[in-house]
């Protein structure tokens, strides 16, 4: 399709999903009108500052600066675009339900129209589309169309995921808007699932809940491996070669985090509960994940005794590598638990330092891995940033006060660590552990840490 045939679109909310969606469609040749209520973010984008750390995004936005329009005002978007993609946040509330206030603010801001459609990219509970259509009717905007088009991109590979998605899911009412969204995505040549709105909404929630279940499952297997002497890395390798199982999301570790899995699993559990169904499996998935984040503490205590006054170095803080996102990261629970147990915590992350300053209190944030481990009684690898594989182990061992290294992602080579004089503990690995580090998924970013 040539560029001039591509229709202009609007994107409301320019966070991780909105900005990547906007830049991705600009790459496909669309003019994109991006709206956000955060005036500082919009000003920064107009001045060329990208608010998030996401590989390839800066270059993409820069390349298509001419097609990307950033504003806090909806007028231009409504004038030029029929399709308005909604990518505002839907964070968890105290009850565990999704907070839809930003979505409802967008709905309320729409004028009556027979020409426009909202295309929901934000992750919302099943039934939200019905509520929004009812709100449109009540507000005299029944001409407004609605499409559910959930987003599956993973932070850290979001640009790639936009440009070559596993699938595009479009739930609609069979009107012009569903067709128009399908047409927009057609250059990507991805499998397209056309369905009703509720099913599209549920595909997203069920997908994230399933992936989270896989992670909690392998974490429980890891815990049993610790009791029995099996090595979960070997177990996962053997399981993952079964193509009914697959190798992704079978990496045991210290629990999943991020802005999606925890909230989406909890939202699905609440959605079921609100409808009178007790989703037993998801309760266990959530509980296993919470306990998994805390197991590091008992591993530390096993080696160090009391943690009062002990210096613990954390390597990595982001919820996974290649992002600066720390929402619901395991590092948040871990650093709080360590401090509650009386330890002093020093931490380093290659890109999440600014986020960490906002979210962590009492943690000494330092500018290098070397500074984080210097004088530490124990070191915990929390996020598997590739640079941690390049550490000079002899120098690290030399600079530490103690010798304990807990590899919370089974990312490092136990043999090399032991040879360098470390007391090594992985997750679900035998104490005398041998076997290769990591597993078949190494390097593809495909799920060592939970992704969305």
Ligand X SMILES: NC(=O)c1ccc[n+]([C@@H]2O[C@H](COP(=O)([O-])OP(=O)(O)OC[C@H]3O[C@@H](n4cnc5c(N)ncnc54)[C@H](O)[C@@H]3O)[C@@H](O)[C@H]2O)c1
Give 216 or 323: the residue with its C-beta nearer to ligand X. Answer: 323
* 10 closest CA partner among 72, 74, 58, 60: 74
The answer to whether residue 450 forms part of the interface with ligand X (CB under 6 A) is: no
The answer to whether residue 16 forms part of the interface with ligand X (CB under 6 A) is: yes
Q: Out of 9, 17, 83, 202, point to the residue binding ligand X (CB under 6 A).
A: 17
Question: Following CA atoms 59, 60, 61, 64 in sequence, which dihedral angle do they give, to the nearest 10 degrees?
Answer: 120
Give 121 or 141: the residue with its C-beta nearer to ligand X. Answer: 121
CB of 136 to ligand X, least distance (A): 16
Site for ligand X in 268-297 (CB under 6 A): none
The answer to whether residue 37 forms part of the interface with ligand X (CB under 6 A) is: yes
Give 51 or 428: the residue with its C-beta nearer to ligand X. Answer: 51
The answer to whether residue 259 forms part of the interface with ligand X (CB under 6 A) is: yes
Cβ neighbours of residue 84 closer than 8 Å, sequence gap 6 or more: 9, 10, 11, 12, 77, 78, 110, 116, 117, 118, 119
CB of 202 to ligand X, least distance (A): 14
CA distances from 370 to 31, 141, 228, 320, 379 (A): 46, 59, 35, 20, 11
Classified as helix, coil or strand, 52 is: coil
Q: Out of 57, 88, 332, 404, point to the residue binding ligand X (CB under 6 A).
A: 88
Site for ligand X in 39-78 (CB under 6 A): 41
Instruction: Name beta bridge partners: 148.
Output: 120, 171
Q: Out of 30, 71, 123, 322, point to the residue binding ligand X (CB under 6 A).
A: 123
Question: Following CA atoms 243, 194, 166, 183 in sequence, which dihedral angle do they give, to the nearest 10 degrees?
Answer: 150
CB of 35 to ligand X, least distance (A): 5
The answer to whether residue 18 forms part of the interface with ligand X (CB under 6 A) is: yes
* 110 closest CA partner among 84, 147, 80, 91: 84
Number of residues binding to ligand X, judged by CB under 6 A:
28
CB of 348 to ligand X, least distance (A): 24
Site for ligand X in 97-116 (CB under 6 A): 102, 105-106
Q: Out of 14, 223, 439, 449, point to the residue binding ligand X (CB under 6 A).
A: 14
Give 128 or 292: the residue with its C-beta nearer to ligand X. Answer: 128
First to last CA, the chain: 30
The answer to whether residue 313 forms part of the interface with ligand X (CB under 6 A) is: no
Give 248 or 418: the residue with its C-beta nearer to ligand X. Answer: 248
The answer to whether residue 359 forms part of the interface with ligand X (CB under 6 A) is: no
Site for ligand X in 127-186 (CB under 6 A): 151, 153, 155
- Give a three-class secondary structure readout of 217-264: HHHHHHHHHHHHCCCHHHHHHHHHCCCCCCCCCCCCCCCCCCCCHHHH
Q: Does residue 170 contact residue 192 with C-beta atoms inside 8 Å?
A: yes
Quick one: which segment of 8-16, 22-30, 134-142, 175-183 binds ligand X (CB under 6 A)? 8-16
Task: Show which residues are catalytic.
Answer: 260
Quick one: which segment of 15-23, 387-395, 406-414, 418-426 binds ligand X (CB under 6 A)? 15-23
Compute the C-alpha angle 213/215/218, nearest 5°. Answer: 110
CB of 123 to ligand X, least distance (A): 4
The answer to whether residue 267 forms part of the interface with ligand X (CB under 6 A) is: no
CB of 157 to ligand X, least distance (A): 10
Classified as helix, coil or strand, 351 is: coil
The answer to whether residue 38 forms part of the interface with ligand X (CB under 6 A) is: yes
User: For residues 340 and 337, what is the distance between their CA atoms, to the nearest angstrom?
Assistant: 5
The answer to whether residue 89 forms part of the interface with ligand X (CB under 6 A) is: yes
The answer to whether residue 13 forms part of the interface with ligand X (CB under 6 A) is: yes
Cβ neighbours of residue 251 closer than 8 Å, sequence gap 6 or more: 215, 218, 236, 409, 410, 439, 441, 447, 448, 449
* Contacting residues toward ligand X, per CB under 6 A: 12-18, 35-38, 41, 87-90, 102, 105-106, 121-123, 151, 153, 155, 259-260, 452
């Amino acid at each position: 399709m040539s560029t001039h045939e591509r229709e202009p679109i609007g994107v409301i909310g320019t966070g991780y999903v909105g900005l990547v969606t906007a830049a991705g469609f600009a790459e496909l040749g669309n003019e994109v009108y991006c709206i956000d209520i955060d005036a500082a973010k919009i000003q920064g984008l107009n001045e060329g500052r990208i608010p998030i750390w996401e590989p390839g995004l800066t270059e993409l936005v820069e390349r298509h600066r001419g097609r990307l329009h950033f504003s806090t005002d909806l007028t231009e978007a409504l004038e030029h675009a029929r399709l308005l993609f909604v990518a505002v946040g839907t964070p968890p509330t105290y009850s565990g339900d999704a907070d839809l206030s930003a979505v409802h603010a967008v709905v309320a801001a729409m004028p009556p129209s027979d020409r426009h459609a909202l295309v929901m990219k934000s992750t919302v509970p099943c039934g939200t589309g019905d509520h929004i259509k009812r709100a449109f009717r009540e507000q005299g905007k029944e001409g407004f169309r609605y499409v559910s088009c959930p987003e599956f991109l993973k932070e850290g590979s979001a640009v790639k995921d936009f440009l070559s998605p596993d699938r595009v899911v479009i739930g609609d009412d069979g009107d012009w808007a569903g067709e128009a969204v399908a047409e927009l995505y057609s250059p990507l040549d991805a499998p397209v699932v056309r369905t009703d709105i509720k099913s599209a909404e549920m595909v997203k929630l069920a997908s994230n809940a399933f992936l989270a279940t896989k992670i909690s499952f392998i974490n429980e297997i890891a815990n049993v491996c610790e009791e029995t002497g099996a090595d979960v890395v070997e177990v996962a390798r053997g399981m993952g070669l079964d193509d009914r199982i697959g190798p992704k999301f079978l990496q045991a570790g210290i629990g999943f985090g991020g802005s999606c899995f925890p909230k989406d699993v909890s939202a699905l559990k609440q959605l079921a509960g609100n409808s009178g169904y007790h989703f037993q499996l998801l309760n266990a998935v959530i509980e296993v994940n919470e306990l998994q984040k805390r197991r590091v503490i008992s591993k530390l205590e096993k080696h160090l005794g009391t943690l009062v006054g002990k210096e613990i170095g954390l390597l990595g803080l982001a919820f996974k590598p290649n992002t600066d996102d720390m929402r619901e990261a395991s590092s948040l629970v871990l650093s709080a638990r360590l401090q509650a147990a009386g330890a002093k915590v020093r931490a380093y992350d290659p890109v999440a330092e600014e986020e960490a300053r906002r979210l962590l209190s009492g943690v000494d944030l330092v500018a290098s891995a070397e500074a984080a481990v210097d004088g530490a009684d124990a070191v915990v690898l929390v996020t598997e940033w590739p640079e941690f594989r390049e550490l000079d182990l002899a120098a690290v061992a030399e600079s530490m006060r103690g010798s304990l290294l807990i590899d919370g992602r089974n990312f490092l080579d136990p043999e090399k660590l032991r040879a360098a004089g470390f007391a090594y503990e992985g997750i679900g690995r035998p104490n005398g552990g041998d076997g290769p580090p990591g597993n078949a998924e190494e390097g593809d970013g495909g799920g060592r840490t939970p992704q969305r």
